[in-house]
Amino acid sequence: MLHFELVTPEKLVRSEDVYMVVVPGTEGDFGVLEQHMPLMSSIRDDAELAIYREEKGAPEMLRIQGGFAEVSETGLTVLAERIGG
């Protein structure tokens, strides 16, 4: 499982294990699974993160503003200024 954290300046919104997250990067969407290589990417404004808790099933969509994604050995961290429209 991939450890996924979503943080805003006001609080740690989420910290959980998920199957996959599709991140809308500035240079294109990319999916992050467990054991992904280290990566830093900015995120397009007003785009949606797709969080897949299970391998099958519909993703949970989350709109974020002013985002930045960091993938390291410990998992995926998304820094967002705001959540929602």
Partner 1 sequence: MASLKALKIRIGSVKSTQKITKAMQMVAAAKLRRAQMAAEAGRPYAERIEQVVASLAARVTISDQTPKLLAGNGHDSVHLLIVTTSERGLAGAFNSNIIRAARRKADELIAAGKTVKILTVGKKGRVLKRFYPKHIAGDIDMSAIKNVAFSDAQKVADEVIQRFDNGEFDVAHLFYAKFQSALVQEPVGQQVIPVPVDPDAAKTAGAVEYEPDEETILADLLPRNLAVQIYRALLENAASEQGSRMTAMDNATRNAGDMINRLTIEYNRTRQAAITTELVEIISGAEAL
Point out which residues pair with 78 in neighbouring strands: 6, 69
CB of 69 to partner 1, least distance (A): 9
Give the integer Cα–Cα distance in Å for 28 and 39.
14
Kindly state the tokens that stand for 39: 């990566």
- 55 is an interface residue for partner 1 by CB under 8 A: no
Helix H segments across 1-85?
none
- Selected binder of partner 1 within 16, 17, 40, 54 (CB under 8 A): 40
Q: Give the binding site for partner 1 (CB under 8 A).
A: 5, 7-12, 25-27, 37-42, 66, 68, 70, 72, 77, 79, 81-82
